[in-house]
């Protein structure tokens, strides 16, 4: 073991001397990234390395409360439109282009290393979640660009993040990876990010759903770069230059522009990939060709014999508000919502979600018990809070259902729905079983 450690120390020193990236864990050590990498077991490090063959590939890192997974998928799609072989790590899988290497939550350093050691990869997009940042840090020392999508209530009270300021501090860790020539991409519509950006010494790129955003206006007037929504246009702004990318309704995952959160995700992905060397044409091609079914578990709309089914993973207030915007925009005779909530949410937050849900014009609500998510509460506690708030908001008791599992709630909703109705399914436990059931039923 001592000998192995000596060899590892030698390799670390050599990599530093040659200015090359080195990644190591308990089992493997690698130098370079992607197609410029070489990987060995930590117990079998070679005596010499051809350092001229070792190089990095463009890397983009993405974090934030909502929109991370959709944004990394969009960014990957854009880079592929530009001709790259793209390695992707996310909360759902790690992949190279269309090939999924492994499913599961790979948004920590282990997922980043797995992708960056794939020798077929010539560009990488890494989703970086709060848990991995807190427990194990960043999976890569250097990134050409980092993106923070937004900061809002989620996981507050968990290890390391008692309030939004602490959550921001955790997410801000990604800024440390940005190389001197790189850029940090931020959401100009997020007050916390605007405030924190004042102390950032590196180069910033902003994105915004508001073409008149004051931060964007000041930034671009000084020659800075921004990506904004102006009417229906996604636009790149810099100084006095204005370049149209595409129209929001041309992006399939925006539901004709109604899904404004996905318009924001598209702007974020455009900014990130521009910073990684993509052209406006690449960005346009990528945004316009990513279909809804290429973003599983994120606002997917199915047709089941004339019944529309909207499936999403939304689980915090901001994400659910975004989904409710889509639900309002989908024409329907009647609407039924299936959802549950984790027990670690506050009473007021659970009540607020129930109020917001009823406000979109529901005809029925089916609450899933989700025993695996009780997190300290008694069986039925969350349901009683939701039921009480729905009744206060004007629901009749007969309009409220309650089942143990999401699958049972979903089956009940499908049985209730008629052609022309909309079933809104919030799959906190994961959308895959629901989508598999829909396919088995012949949904399109």
Q: Could you state, in order of their start, the residue ranges of all structural domains in the chain?
A: 2-53, 59-294, 300-440
**Assigned token pair, 318:** 């901001």
In the chain, the percentage of residues whose pLDDT exceeds 90 is 74
CATH level 3 topology of 59-294:
3.40.1190
Which residue in 327, 328, 338 sits closest to 400, CA to CA?
338
**Assigned token pair, 220:** 């671009």
Return d(Cα 14, Cα 20) in angstroms, integer: 8
Whole-angstrom CA distances from 368 to 359, 393, 401 are 19, 19, 9
Buried b (16+ CB within 10 A) or exposed e, 311-330: bbbbbbbbbbbbbbbbbeee
Answer whether residue 439 shows pLDDT above 70: yes
pLDDT tens digit sequence for 4-32: 588 999 999 999 999 999 999 989 999 99
Which residue in 244, 245, 243, 263 sits closest to 253, CA to CA?
263
Answer whether residue 162 shows pLDDT above 70: no
**Assigned token pair, 311:** 């499936």
Q: What is the mean pLDDT of residues 172-197?
A: 96
Rounded to two decimals, the pTM is 0.86
pLDDT, the chain, mean: 92
Answer whether residue 129 shows pLDDT above 60: yes
Answer whether residue 113 shows pLDDT above 70: yes
Answer whether residue 382 shows pLDDT above 60: yes
Element (H, E) at 317: helix 317-329
What superfamily would CATH give domain 300-440? Mur ligase, C-terminal domain (3.90.190.20)
Q: What is the pLDDT of residue 309?
A: 96
Q: What is the pLDDT of residue 131?
A: 63
Q: What is the pLDDT of residue 160?
A: 47
């Amino acid at each position: 073991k001592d000998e192995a450690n000596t060899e590892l120390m030698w390799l670390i020193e050599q990599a530093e001397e040659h200015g090359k990236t080195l990644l190591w864990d308990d089992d493997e050590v690698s130098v370079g990234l992607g197609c410029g990498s070489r990987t060995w077991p930590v117990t079998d490090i070679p005596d010499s390395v051809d350092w001229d063959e070792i190089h990095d590939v463009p890397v983009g890192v993405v974090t934030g409360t909502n929109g991370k997974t959709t944004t990394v998928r969009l960014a990957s799609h854009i880079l592929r439109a530009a001709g790259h072989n793209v390695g992707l790590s996310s909360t759902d899988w790690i992949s190279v282009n269309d090939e999924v290497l492994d499913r599961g939550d790979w948004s920590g350093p282990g997922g980043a290393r797995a992708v960056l050691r794939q020798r077929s990869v010539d560009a990488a997009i890494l989703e970086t979640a709060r848990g991995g940042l807190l427990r194990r840090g960043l999976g890569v020392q250097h990134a050409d660009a980092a993106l923070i999508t937004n900061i809002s209530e989620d996981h507050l009270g968990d290890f390391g993040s008692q309030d939004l300021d602490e959550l921001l501090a955790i997410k801000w860790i990604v800024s440390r990876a940005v190389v001197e020539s790189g850029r940090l991409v931020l959401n100009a519509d997020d007050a916390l990010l605007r405030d924190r950006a004042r102390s950032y010494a590196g180069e910033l790129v902003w994105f915004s759903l508001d073409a008149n955003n004051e931060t964007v206006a000041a930034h671009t007037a000084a020659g800075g770069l921004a990506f904004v929504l102006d009417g229906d246009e996604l636009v790149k702004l810099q100084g006095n230059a204005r370049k149209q990318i595409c129209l929001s309704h041309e992006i399939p995952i925006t539901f004709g522009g109604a899904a404004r959160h996905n318009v924001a995700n598209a702007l974020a992905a455009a900014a990130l990939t521009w910073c990684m060397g993509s052209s406006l044409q690449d960005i346009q091609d990528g945004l316009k060709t990513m279909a809804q079914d290429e973003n599983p578990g994120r606002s997917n709309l199915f047709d089941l014999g004339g019944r529309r089914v909207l499936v999403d993973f939304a689980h915090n207030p901001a994400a659910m508000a975004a989904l409710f915007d889509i639900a309002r925009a989908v024409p329907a005779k009647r609407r039924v919502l299936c959802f549950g909530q984790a027990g670690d949410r506050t009473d007021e937050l659970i009540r607020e979600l129930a109020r917001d849900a009823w406000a979109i014009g529901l005809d029925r609500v089916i609450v899933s018990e989700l025993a695996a998510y009780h997190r300290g509460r008694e069986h039925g506690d969350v349901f009683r809070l939701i039921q009480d708030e729905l009744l206060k908001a004007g629901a009749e008791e007969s309009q409220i259902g309650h089942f143990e599992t999401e699958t049972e709630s979903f089956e009940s909703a499908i049985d209730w729905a008629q052609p022309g109705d909309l079933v809104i399914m919030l799959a906190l436990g994961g959308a895959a079983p629901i989508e598999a059931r829909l396919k088995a039923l012949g949904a399109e």
